[in-house]
């Protein structure tokens, strides 16, 4: 097993391994509870699945808590965990801020698009339906949600073996209990991709 260890000036050291599963935690800026809003939970799931297609990782499980997200991701192909998380966080930040404020700071593909970089077609997320639903729901006070940001960086841990994987799957499945929440359709979802 050959590992590449990298660190950046404002983040922790990371071990980059292909074909390994990572348990990841990423938190909203100042722990603002954006994910109490179902519209933002659905948007995050759509962006997560879009990034999965783009960055070619396997998604074993996720849970969305009011102010943080847990992921179990198996890396495939050329992208390391930092590149995958950068993509997830960037896509979602741009999209949620469009929903909240109505502006997109950079070009966003809409509908079915062919990417020369990835040599395939992608269906991108229809942000209009999210924006319309948000404005209908918060017609009186859309400004109750501040500009979205993630806390810088994220925490990750490499899964060691099958028992460790099972423990993290169980943790993700029951994380809502730890936070005193009721389970709903957006609390968590597990995927098994032959793992």
Mean pLDDT of the chain: 81
pLDDT in tens, 67-85: 999 999 999 888 999 999 9
Look up residue 154 and give its two tokens. Answer: 């994220």
pLDDT at 118 over 80: no
Query: Tokens 């709903």 identify what position?
Result: 184
**pLDDT band at residue 115, thresholds of 50, 70 and 90?**
low
**pLDDT band at residue 111, thresholds of 50, 70 and 90?**
very low
pTM, 2 dp = 0.82
List C-alpha distances in Å: 121 to 50, 62, 84, 115, 131: 12, 25, 19, 6, 24
**What domains lie within the chain, and their CATH numbers?**
4-190 (3.30.70.1290)
Look up residue 149 and give its two tokens. Answer: 């940001």
Look up residue 155 and give its two tokens. Answer: 């925490």
């Amino acid at each position: 097993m050959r590992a590449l260890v990298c660190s950046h000036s404002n983040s922790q050291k990371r071990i980059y391994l292909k074909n390994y599963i990572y348990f990841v935690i990423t938190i909203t800026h100042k722990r603002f509870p954006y994910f109490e809003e179902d519209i933002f939970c659905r948007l995050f799931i759509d962006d997560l699945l879009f990034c999965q297609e783009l960055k070619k990782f396997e998604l074993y499980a996720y849970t969305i808590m009011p102010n943080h997200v847990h992921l179990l991701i198996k890396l495939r192909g050329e992208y390391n965990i930092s590149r995958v998380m950068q993509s997830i966080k960037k896509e979602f930040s741009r999209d949620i801020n469009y929903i909240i404020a109505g502006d997109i700071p950079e070009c966003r593909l809409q509908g079915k698009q062919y990417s020369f970089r990835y040599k395939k077609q992608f269906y991108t997320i229809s942000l209009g339906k999210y924006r319309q639903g948000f404005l209908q729901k918060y017609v009186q006070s859309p400004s109750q949600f501040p500009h979205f940001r993630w806390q810088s960086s994220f925490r990750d841990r490499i899964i060691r073996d099958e028992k460790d994987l099972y423990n993290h799957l169980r943790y993700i499945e029951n994380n809502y209990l730890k936070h005193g929440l009721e389970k709903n359709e957006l609390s968590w979802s597990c995927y098994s991709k032959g793992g």
